[in-house]
Structure 1
Amino acid sequence: MKVLLIDDHPLILSALKTVIQGLGDHVSVVGAASAAEARGVLAADPDFDLVLLDLALGDAHGFDVLTEFRAQYPAVPVVVVSASDRSSDVIHAVDLGAMGFVPKRASNEILFEALNVVMSGGIYVPPMTLRSFGDGAGAPAGAGSVPQALAVVREQAEAGAVQKTPPLASLGLTPRQTDVLALLLQGKPNKLIARDLNLSVETVKDHVAAVLRALNVSSRTQAVLAVSQMTHQGGINAWRNPPR
């Protein structure tokens, strides 16, 4: 596994390189101390399996770099590793395409767990306190404004309110809806989900809408966060093989 680690703090860069190399003998880590250096590394060799990105870079805003890399290298998953653990930052990173978010204060074990989840095709976010997303829970995917939905969630998250989320087994999803949820959590758009499951895009939209209703959320980002809370409570990979 080849990892690009982007952090402008030399001590943290060195420490993270050592930790990540501890994942196994076949892990190689390339460090970049700036966004410009990271761009050069990827331009010369885009064949990386994973990018770990700090949000606080001296020459660029981390969210801008995340957006740029997700657009230019869509096959390379990006995990944010940040000193921030604000719910609003986690939500924004996932909404921009990050496949994971790990606070720097997390233990090595949590970092290993997060990287394993991401490399297995899942999305990792730390436990957060979120409450019910309100009256728009039945809205289909893409309905309404994502920024508006995120604004509501951010207000609720930063207020420290608690969302009570049911375990996955109690959601009452059909086998096909469970398949759609699994692909949705991988960040796939409706067209790719339709292709993978040999369904029409309209049918996928209906399934996504049903999944969002079952989760009591109104957007894909909220769905990722809601499922993350359940999986942290009932096993990180619980959503991968839910009872049918």
Structure 2
Amino acid sequence: MKQTIEKLFAAATISEVGSLEEVTETLDREEDVDLVFLDLTMPGMRGFSGLMYLRAQYVGVPVLVVSATEDPATIRSCIEFGASGFIPKSLGIDVIQEAVSTVMAGGIWTPPDIDLSVEDEASKMARRLASLTPQQVRVLMMLSQGLLNKQIAYELSVSEATVKAHVSAILQKLGVESRTQAVIAAAKIEAGQWQQMANALV
């Protein structure tokens, strides 16, 4: 992948990191990042929740997902969560260069044989999850870890009332009635089980 980028952009500076935490550290440190290549299985990703967080926190930086999977549902979900493209690792160099060029030009690229027009309950839920703010994503992830409101408040250095407000907003955006249903949603995000998640929350 690095060699492919170097052929396209000879003057490009490429930073390689090994975890989601290192990705965020790099984005916080470097102000002129043009593109992020993201592997869904890298440490810290927790399924799609890492992609959700990056797109909410760093709105101006396009994310191109690179993955060994070619599952249409996974590709659609990535695009629903704001990825600018999805590159299966099995693709040849020429196609990868086409994908990168498209994304760098402001477009969206997915494998041509993937139908993104499919509208199902999983896609609807993906859009709801994508509407969460960065802080709401953090709260939802902490709820999924079993933390109480006061523990979340301590971790985020905010008041317990603020956490309650975030929880209420999460429930409203997801169209669910309880913390338990919200936690089910978070669990399914991390597992990538979109159809099961939709069924559990309908």
Which residues of 2 match residues 127-166 of structure 1 at below 5 A? 127-128=112-113, 130=115, 148=121, 150=123
What is the alpha-carbon distance in structure 2 between the residues aligned to residue 103 and residue 24 of structure 1? 21
**TM-score normalised to the size of structure 1?**
0.47
- Matched with 1:235 is none
RMSD over aligned CA atoms reads: 2.2
Q: Is the alpha carbon distance of 1:49 and 1:129 closer, same or farther for their aligned partners in structure 2, counting shifts above 3 Å?
A: closer
Structure 1: how far apart are the matches of 2:108 and 2:19?
A: 25
Match of 1:34 in 2: 19
Identity of aligned residues (%): 35
- Contact kept? 1:54, 1:62, Cα under 8 Å: no
Q: Structure 1 residues 17 and 131, CA, compared in 2 at 3 Å: closer, same or farther?
A: closer
| Structure 2: segments with no counterpart, 5+ residues | 125-202
Report the Cα offset of residue 61 of structure 1. 2.1
Q: Does 1:19 align with 2:11?
A: no
| Partner residue in 1 for 2:36 | 51
Which residue, out of 45, 48, 53, partners 1:60?
45
Instruction: Report the CA distance shift for 1:111/1:44 in structure 2 as closer, same or farther (over 3 A).
Output: same
Alignment partner, residue 85 of structure 1: 70
The structure whose RCO (Cα within 8 Å, separation 6+) is larger is: 2
4+ residue runs over 4 A deviation: 129-133
> Which residue in the other structure is 1:114 paired with?
99
String of CA shifts for 1:110-137, please: whole Å, max 9, x gaps. 110001111111100002354985xxxx
Q: Which runs of 5+ in 1 are unaligned?
A: 1-15, 134-145, 152-244
Give the C-alpha shift of residue 108 in structure 1. 0.8
Q: What is the aligned residue count?
A: 124
Q: 2-side partners of 1:36 and 1:99: how far apart?
A: 21
The code of the aligned residue for 1:148 comes to: E
- 1:60: how far off? 2.4
